[in-house]
Amino acid sequence: MIIVKTKANSILSAYLLHNKDTIDRYLMMLDGISEDIPATLYESMHYSLSAGGKRIRPILAIASCEAVGGTIDDVIPAAIAIEMIHTYSLIHDDLPSMDNDDLRRGKPANHKVFGEATAILAGDGLLTMAFGILSDTKSFKNQAYLERRLKIIREIAVAAGPDGMVGGQQLDIENEGKKIDIVSVEKLHNRKTGALILAAIRTGGISGGASELQLQALTDYGKKTGLAFQIADDILDVEGKVEDVGKSIGKDANQRKNTYPALLGLEQAKNLAGQLVSEAITALDSFDDKADPLRLIAAYAIDRKS
């Protein structure tokens, strides 16, 4: 599909807004079980879930499911679980013992409002609740659906765990203040940021019944897009504005983190992000226009201001 940029932006904005609203409605169903959770813990979990955010990961899951012919009903449990896991990771990332940030999504970080102990427990609560949603048998339609869900649970567990996001965070901590090469930086970011983005895309495909060839194409797309998102985040930490990004700016340099702008320079980092987006879109050549939201989101990865 070839469209002018203005029209593409309008189409993408409408798609993102519609699906963000859907995700937000499902997330706020947490209100219905508040009586079963200690009040302070519930308030802490709800605070971070309702703090806003672009909901890009669950929207990528929805877009991937639709690209292979699935519906939002097929993918919504996985999409909601992924956003809960992402939110838990942000709560923990902001802790003083981790990235030590006081601001998240334009609001005080969870631990600044509820204290470190409750913030840790809120993250733990969101992580475990996510797998409760994924394993809820009430949403299983048939045996084929059960088999898909088991694959999805495995996919997300690996992406969120020591082989993925948690391992990436550990590498980030260990290498802070050290000079590492670009290969090591890519390995770090493929785990810390890329793993959950890739899992969102793959679980969307699995939820929609993707063929092996379709799933491989989505995997190629997801790897490129995930890395482009991280490079864009690195660039925003240099060029972004607090009011747009919703968190502190310049922390990467202050903490001597290994980022793409630090290793390659700002312009070369931007060029690499653009190349990755082009390759991600090319990976979807075998898909029809149902995959257009995925193509537009890849381009958005490096055009965004937050």
How confident is the model at residue 139, as a pLDDT? Answer: 66
Q: Give per-residue pLDDT as tens, 291-300.
A: 999 999 999 8
User: DSSP labels for 160-180?
Assistant: HSTTTHHHHHHHHHHHTTS--
Length of the chain, in residues: 306
pLDDT at 289 over 80: yes
pLDDT in tens, 4-63: 344 557 889 999 999 999 999 998 876 556 678 899 999 999 999 998 889 999 999 999
State residue 287's pLDDT score. 97
Residues forming beta bridges with residue 108, ordered by sequence position: 103
- 163-172, 186-195, 258-267: segment of lowest average pLDDT: 258-267
Average pLDDT over residues 215-225: 97
Q: CA torsion 115→118→120→123, rounded to 10°?
A: -120
Please tell me the predicted confidence (pLDDT) of residue 30.
Answer: 64
Instruction: Compute the distance between CA of residue 79 and CA of residue 23 in angstroms, rounded to an integer.
Output: 8
How far apart, in whole angstroms, are the C-alpha atoms of residue 161 and residue 45?
A: 20
Percent of the chain with pLDDT over 90: 61
Q: Give the DSSP letter string of 23-79.
A: HHHHHGGGGGGGGGS-HHHHHHHHHHHTS----HHHHHHHHHHHHTT--HHHHHHHH
Say whether pLDDT at 163 is over 80: yes
In terms of pLDDT, which residue wins out, 2 or 21?
A: 21
Please report the pLDDT score of residue 83 as a whole number.
Answer: 96
> Which residues are CB-contacts of 151 (< 8 A; sequence separation ≥ 6)?
206
Residue 19 · residue 296 · CB < 8 Å: no
pLDDT of amino acid 236: 85
Q: Is the pLDDT of residue 181 over 90?
A: no
Contacting residues for 139 by C-beta, under 8 A, at least 6 apart:
77
Task: Identify whether the C-beta of residue 200 lies closer than 8 Å to the C-beta of residue 58.
Answer: yes
Q: How far is CA 60 from CA 136, 202, 255, in A?
A: 22, 9, 31
- What is residue 7's predicted lDDT score, i.e. its pLDDT? 53
- What is the per-residue pLDDT across 250-280, written as a single tens digit (0 to 9) for each? 566 556 677 888 888 888 988 999 999 999 9
Say yes or no to pLDDT of 110 above 80.
yes
pLDDT of residue 1: 32
Q: Tens of pLDDT along 57-84?
A: 999 999 999 999 999 999 999 999 999 9
